[in-house]
Structure 1
Amino acid sequence: MALPPLPVPSLETLRAALPPSLAPFTAPSALESLVAELASPKTADALEPLFRFLYARAESTAATSAAASAATADAATSDADADAGHVAVDPCSSCESWLSAWWLDAAYLAFRAPLVVNSNYAFVFDVPLTDGPYRRAAALMLATRDLARGWHEDKVIPGENGSNCTAAYPRLFNSCRLPAPGSDVLHAASTALYHVVVWAHGHPYVVELGRDGGDVASLASTLVAVVDDAAARTDTAGLGVLCALPRDEWLEASTIVDADGYRVLQDALFELVLEADAPAAGAHAELVASALTTTDGWLDKTLSWLVYANGALALNGEHSGVDGMPMLLVTRAAVARALESEASAADPQAVAPPFARLDLVGAAAESLAARTASARAWLDTYLAASLDVAVLRFDEFGKDHIKAVARISPDAFCQAAIQAAYYALHGTAAPTYESVTTRRFAAGRTETLRAASPQMVAFVESLVRGDATPDELEAKARTAAEQHSALARAAASGAGVDRLLLGLQRAGAALELSLPHALVCDATAAASTWALSTSQVTDPVASAAFGPVVDRGFGVCYGVRRSGLVFNITSQGSARGSDAPSAAAFASSLDAMLQRVWAVFARDDAKL
């Protein structure tokens, strides 16, 4: 089923949506001037050629995508006729939108800061710990391989029903980001390959899984042999730390990487890192921090599984090609299958798959030790300055109670508490980014929900200051929640502000035209400086995390489970300064504000 093209938001949408998002952070007189400028015929005249450019681009990309999709379907039909078999077609395999290439470049590939903390994200999984990692790792490898084969051959992903764009999946498997001048390149193999790169003690190995078959016990024995071999090596380990350098420095350092070995790594189905550490049960922040900052593998690989010595599971995801939800659908299915099969009886006929050392440095091995030592020293200092992690597991209520008692959107409830936590610590509201999926459209990815609406800020201020009666406070809360839901619907329908602003900037650059002052003024820039960067990723087993996006800001990824809430919180480390609240301070404030927001709605029984 072909999905509709991503729409270009209109000038009317921009005029209606931008000023309210600036209001909490802009002086009234400046806001009045900005509104007048946006409404003026002069601004409409200045924007008219830019919108015309965007509409033409949207029409062109839609037509090109439709033609490419039809050609793919015709080729698949011919192949099926020739083979008297079934060839699945992904309707999104060739889809593009007016935005997709610009967003890929601006948000990811042109980003020159280190991927670690700043771009890559992490998932951690609530799984029972074991007395060793090998069977779990083997089961996970086979389960992920089977899911990849299901995509390659049948275009099937558990949880996908055809209503969302699937363009991310060809970028999830057999893919890798490559450093390049100015803007990186996203590489994806042109055919399905079923080898996996396994890292142990900082050394890479290749394990060929094959298209199907395989036995957990025999593959586990291969992984044991990999670890034994790696432990006995004396050559320099830890080449992957170079991927954590700023992108231009990594580009320069990448000249030492052997081309043949590098291509094997790029084309690998995914990679799996056998981590030597064993985070204790309940050490949630430790596991999140490890998953966000690991350099024991290759940060440029799209999917890097992390299996710890006690069976703890996490992953590190390179963000440029794949957002959180497609990654979640694949990996939660893989984890579920792995947990079911990890204790399966050994097949006496199975043969342990061979492994081979992967040479990534070749003749440059002599210079590797100095390069990795220098990169490691830099990274240790950088991470100490750049990342602080706290986890709040809130078990007093969850989605079911919020919907039954508060009768508002659970997402709006969580956003109210998050923004109140920030207000309580800083005495002011924060520009707040919340990602909303636009995958209902061809090549759709995300749009920004500017969650610090005037209605939400008014509620948060009254909640923290205590200057409203209970009835007034509940009325403000419901108004804020209703507005939040309306903004979420608008963003999901492609009627947001931020991707349009990017498009207008790119159109202006192409036409050599300047944008109106209202779109580039200090007020607009300040309200787009996301002191709170947030996203909801809800799953019974998995939770996600990412770093803060501005100095002294916070990254808050949260899950709304049926009977509890999970918040993975990040802030800068020492770079935030001694006067700025830590991630732990934010978690403590958030815990208190969840209780206070709950009390607004459950006045007769504030405690469950």
Structure 2
Amino acid sequence: MALSASLLIRQGLRNGWSGYIRTCASSFAMVAPSRSLHDHQGSLPRLPVPPLEDTLNKYLKTVKPLVTEEEFQLTEEIVKKFAAPGGIGQQLQEKLQQRAKKTDNWLSEWWINAAYLDYRWPVVVWSSPGLVFPLQEFKTLDDQLSYAAKVIVGALDYKKMLDDKTVPIDHMGKDLLDMSQYFKMLGTCRIPGVTRDSIVYHGQSDNPPKHIVVAHNNHYFKIDMYGKEGKPLTINQVLHQLRNVVERSTHPTNPVGILTTQNRNVWGKAYKKLRKDKLNKASIEDIQRSIFFVALDGPIVNPTGNEMTDAALLCVHGNGSQGYAGNRWYDKTIQFIIGKKGAVGLTYEHTPAEGPPIANLMDHIVNFINTGNFQKEDRTMKERKLPAVELDRPKRLMFNIGDDIKQEIEDAKCALDSLVEDLEMTCFLFTGFGTSFIKSQRLSPDSFLQMAIQLAFYRIHKEPGAHYESASTRKYLYGRTETIRSCSTESVEFAKTMLDENASIDEKVSSLRKAVEGHKNYAKDAVHGYGVDRHLLGLKLCAIEAGMDVPTLFMDVGYIRSSHMRLSTSQVPARCEAFMCFGPLVPDGYGCCYNPRPDSVVFGTSAFNSSPETDSATFRAALEESLMDMHDILLKSGLKAKL
């Protein structure tokens, strides 16, 4: 796969949180639906095709800080030729406009395939993010199982809102947002293929699933969640079932689930072998059809000394073959993870949804648990002295594992352990200040934090790095994401000025405000569908579908360098002190996810050990120093103004 094409695909693997919340003047909120969700969906506008000239001019601005003057002149010539009257650019623009007229969203089907189903690298680390819930402290096995039961019932409570279509409609400012992703995250599973995967939405079928699958010591159990009378199980009933699971799986078995961590082509071939056995096929289908997946893990393997980082790694890759990667099924959209000592979270397969629906599910569960909503029903049953409901005990899902599959498992272990060894993370709570201070300076919190990330990178590497931040385009029907290119001429000038010992406080503050404003304007364009990357991708795919040569623009150094996103970032606002984490987009890059709070910011950063240039702990130090420097110049500037 060509580098530029690979990176375009990888850009789809981030969450769409940033730009969705607080990246422009509008702010995210949820409102109770005043109309039916169907009526709401039908009223949404269609994703626009931006004017070609506007996109190319914006593209040149994003390329300039990343190339030499000579390289930029060549890029300008290529862009000029691409945009010439009657040229290839205009031909492709017309094809894209025709596609937009015939579809509800000209990008959505292409995006599912290009960003996810055609993507052949493992979903672990390279695609699926981890979402760490507020850390817990479990002293006993029953503490762990009790919390798991509450998570399960809380998730089913949210599912009822989805089933009843009473989930609040999201909006950003005055814009109502597309809600289709909410109805695709439960009962959904990715299916491996030899060259392209597929995805099945069981939750939207005429016969939706009524069960979940729970894993413990690599054993899988199917648990019906609605009892014989069709009513959802209570907390105590779920807890009873989980105890039964643990009692019947005291020793580890073959880690069949580790196959889902493999390269997608390799897993696709192994999947065909595995399903040839009828017993295996039935067990796989029960997993795929489940509402969601729950992994009951043991204690952290190879702890780092940082509980936040330990929980993040548990959610991202399960600590490999010596940990709990076999106690998973990474093709499931939602996998809740409940560690023995209190590490709690989820990992999700990214194809059907961006982050906001997942975050709202998490927030609902955490609130459900914290407010004790589950206790009323259990207490009422006890007071009425209702007889115990007879439950079918959890059904063990069996696998016949021959020598060929055993070898596939061993190969998967080796491949995953290499990836686990390579990924290093540093997760931390920054307590210097939070969004309250940033807002007091009349600055956009997200843009401010993005500039801090830019400054941290420049502080370490003495040069700018292409910088990806995802923006949600859900104001349009079936909208997914657009790229905010956070590296700009303004951000580079800001970084240089901040690190210049001879620059005055006023000069530093002025450069900061200009950089923040530049980012804010780009973010605003991106959430309205007027970024650079998705339009260029659409033009490229038009050429490929028409059997044309890929235009020179996509092979130019300007395009390749500006698409090599050394910084992959997302904002993940949550009501609780949760945070998201993921691997870098490129081998010599960083991942940086953050949850901004009024008086603090929760960060999850990552890098690869195989890159001699990057280190997440070094990045953390540079980021904290950059944040405090930005804070201090604003305070000094304010004091100076008062004198």
User: Does TM-score exceed 0.5, indicating one fold?
Assistant: yes
Structure with more relative contact order (C-alpha pairs < 8 Å, separation 6 or more):
2
Cross-structure match for 1:292: 316
**Residue 480 (structure 1) aligned to one of 499, 503, 515:** 515
Which residue is 2:4 aligned to?
Answer: none
Q: 1:26 to 1:371 in 2, by over 3 A?
A: closer
User: Structure 1 residue 241 and structure 2 residue 258: aligned?
Assistant: yes
Matched-pair contact (CA < 8 Å) for 1:448–1:497: yes
Task: Quote the Cα distance in structure 2 between the aligned partners of 1:57 and 1:51.
Answer: 10
Sort the Cα spacing of 1:44 and 1:547 in 2 relative to 1 into closer, same or farther, 3 A: farther
Q: Deviations over 1:75-107 (max 9, x none)?
A: xxxxxxxxxxxxxxxxxxxxxx10011111111
What is aligned with 1:549?
585
Identity %: 26
The one of 592, 597, 602 equivalent to 2:630 is 597
> Is the Cα contact below 8 Å between 1:163 and 1:440 reproduced in 2?
yes
Q: C-alpha offsets along residues 436-471 of structure 1, whole Å, 9 cap, x if unaligned?
A: 111110010110000001101110122123342211
Identify the range of structure 1 (389-398 vs 486-495) with the bigger mean alpha-carbon deviation: 389-398
Pairs within 5 Å for 1:196-275? 196-210=212-226, 212-231=231-250, 236-254=253-271, 255-257=273-275, 258-275=280-297
Unaligned runs of 5+ in 2: 1-39, 319-324
Q: Which residue of 1 aligns with 2:199?
A: 186
Aligned to 2:389: 351
Establish whether residue 361 from structure 1 lines up as the match of residue 399 from structure 2. Answer: yes
| Structure-to-structure mapping, 1:150-549, within 5 angstroms | 150-154=161-165, 156-157=167-168, 163-189=176-202, 190-191=205-206, 192-210=208-226, 212-231=231-250, 236-254=253-271, 255-257=273-275, 258-277=280-299, 283-294=307-318, 295=325, 296-341=327-372, 345=378, 347-348=381-382, 349=386, 350-351=388-389, 353-359=391-397, 361-362=399-400, 364=401, 368-385=405-422, 387-404=423-440, 406-541=441-576, 542-549=578-585
Alignment of 1:120-139 (within 5 A): 120-131=128-139, 132-139=143-150
Q: SS of the counterpart of 1:428?
A: coil
One-letter amino acid matched to 2:177:
N
User: For the Cα contact (< 8 Å) 2:467–2:565, is it kept in 1?
Assistant: yes
- Residue 596 of structure 1 aligns with an amino acid whose one-letter code is D
State the one-letter code of the partner of 1:223: L
Provide the aligned C-alpha RMSD in A: 2.2
Q: TM-score, normalised by structure 2?
A: 0.84
Structure 1 residue 52: Cα displacement: 1.2
Aligned with 2:463: secondary structure?
coil
Q: CA deviation at 1:158?
A: 7.6
Measure how far apart 1:271 and its partner are: 0.5
Q: Say whether the 8 Å CA contact 1:136–1:339 is kept in structure 2.
A: no
> How many pairs does the alignment contain?
564
Distance 1:260 1:398, change over 3 A: same
- Distance in 1 separating the partners of 2:238 and 2:79: 63
Give 5+ residue unaligned stretches, structure 1. 63-96
- Counterpart CA distance in 1 for 2:305 and 2:338 is 14
1-structure distance, mates of 2:305, 2:152: 23
For residue 392 of structure 1, give the secondary structure of its aligned residue in structure 2. Answer: strand
Cα distance in 1 between the residues matched to 2:290 and 2:99: 35
Contact 1:136–1:311 under 8 Å retained in 2: no
> How far is 1:340 from its partner?
3.2
Instruction: Please give the secondary structure, in 2, of the residue aligned with 1:165.
Output: coil
Give the direction of change, closer, same or farther, for the CA distance of 1:280–1:354 in structure 2 (3 Å limit): farther
Change (3 A) 1:604 1:31: closer
User: Following the alignment from structure 2 to structure 1, what is the Cα–Cα distance between the partners of residues 551 and 603?
Assistant: 39
Q: How far apart, in 2, do the equivalents of 1:292 and 1:308 lie?
A: 13
Asked if the contact 2:466/2:566 (under 8 Å) is kept, the reply is yes
Distance in 2, Cα, partners of 1:490 & 1:570: 28
Cα 1:463–1:261 change in 2 (3 A) is same
Partner of 1:83: none
Render the CA deviation track for 1:186-221: whole Å, top value 9, x for unaligned: 111114222000001111100111154322122112
Q: Whole-Å Cα distance in 1 between the matches of residues 169 and 534 of structure 2?
A: 29
Name the SS for the 1:559 alignment partner. Answer: strand
- CA shift for structure 1 position 260: 1.6
